[in-house]
Structure 1
């Protein structure tokens, strides 16, 4: 795929995000919002399904030869070929509680590797995007600009974020996460998509999650990498199907992995 080809795909991803934003902003804080629980007890709203259905319809009309994988309608994000990966609303719990920190995540994955990524958070007034070889970008109230990770080289100067401390007990190790917290200067819980985007911007140095799905992180790998950082799972593998995620500025990545390693005996 040429750089021109990724530019075309990225422009299409922007159109998909525009369609998604028109649905999510209209349904945010709607009094008739329909909320159900999935088998894993996570919530799904009618806005989630409406966004994914709208994006799938556009893809079917304009990219009929590409596969699609999404959180609500299924599909494999890592199958061979070109796959559009969709998380219609990342941060659904925020969305249904009226907290404006949520986003639509869109990625184009080629043979298991994300090559285009876009994150649109309309209530934050922010959209991030990246494509292989084209850098990472942000548009907000200040305009459009290229972004890059921080230059913080030591953990004791680093700022760290996760999504939910309780999830470390269930999916990895609370003790391992707290080792990393103790080694860092500051810790926060911006959560979900936002923390990875803040790593790409250079506002955070580390974002880490013990449990993720491919649609949660497919855009993050290309966004953080194109911003000059590093993305992996907690074993250090760069794929999007490892079940966990670590985004850093690259300089503190190995040390963070060391501290996050489980010590089960």
Structure 2
């Protein structure tokens, strides 16, 4: 994804997305580490909490009032976003496993997608006291919560894979899940790069946008995991594609980079 693909976003849509993030934070943060937090399992064995459903329901209600014509795709309540036109893609809590275990690395992800391209993205991580956002034509930004000063962010200038800092979510996923990149490809990349970590989920993608790390590899991901980070990364000057190099947030997997490293990383992953 690159900013050149997108016409400038309407600033009113970014304002709405930021207000939706405020709404979600007010619901999720009080439930984080709550003694009565209710956790159940979905059919795919991933956890869902009462905070997930409450946050998504609140976001949907607000969008229904302010953008009644826009479809919504959310992790907990489903839906669909057409290839043409506008739609919102929402993950009320990305990193629910962390949330349910008391690990503060989780966030609400809110994106506006226009004609298949994320044009507005907000990633709000209140337990980390951090928020990131990007809007087509207006750059990528971050600030500390609750009231820090916004700071424009940009990807790193690292040009060599051998100097790159790379992250994933769970290294075992390369072995246990079918996909275009297996365990051998991931190990080859970690050996080729300077340093590897597992920051995971949304966090690694926005860290790429901030220039803190250079590459993030996600072997399994849903559209709601990637739409908002894709907008932030693009406006920060980076790229998000699937692991075959196609510029999509809906390919089932993802590679995020500073752009300079993208083709070289794909080559290493592909063997």
If the length of structure 1 is used for normalisation, what is the TM-score?
Answer: 0.96
Matched, 1:159 2:165: yes
1:77/1:215 contact within 8 Å kept = no
Q: Secondary structure at the match of 1:176?
A: helix
The alpha-carbon deviation at position 240 of structure 1 amounts to 1.2
Task: Give the gaps of 5 or more residues in structure 1.
Answer: none
> Who is 2:100 aligned against?
96
The two structures, once aligned, show a CA RMSD in angstroms of 1.3
Higher relative contact order (CA closer than 8 Å, sequence separation 6+): 2
Return the alpha-carbon distance in structure 2 between the equivalents of residues 208 and 2 of structure 1.
28
Matched, 1:171 2:175: no
1:100-150 C-alpha deviation (Å, 9 max, x unpaired): 110000000012111100000001111000011111000116621100000
> Who is 2:36 aligned against?
32
Q: Which of 206, 209, 219 matches 1:210?
A: 219
**Any residues of structure 2 matched to 1:126-205 within 5 Å, and which?**
126-140=130-144, 143-169=149-175, 170-172=177-179, 173-205=182-214
> Who is 1:14 aligned against?
18
Q: Secondary structure at the match of 1:160?
A: strand
Matched, 1:121 2:125: yes
Matched, 1:231 2:240: yes
Return the alpha-carbon distance in structure 2 between the equivalents of residues 232 and 50 of structure 1.
31
The alpha-carbon deviation at position 19 of structure 1 amounts to 0.4
Matched, 1:222 2:231: yes
The alpha-carbon deviation at position 2 of structure 1 amounts to 6.4
Task: Give the gaps of 5 or more residues in structure 2.
Answer: 1-5
2:7/2:136 contact within 8 Å kept = no
If the length of structure 2 is used for normalisation, what is the TM-score?
Answer: 0.94
Return the alpha-carbon distance in structure 1 between the equivalents of residues 164 and 178 of structure 2.
24
2:24/2:108 contact within 8 Å kept = yes
**Which runs of structure 1 show a deviation greater than 6 angstroms over 4 or more consecutive aligned residues?**
none
2:87/2:113 contact within 8 Å kept = yes
Q: Secondary structure at the match of 1:207?
A: strand
The alpha-carbon deviation at position 78 of structure 1 amounts to 4.4
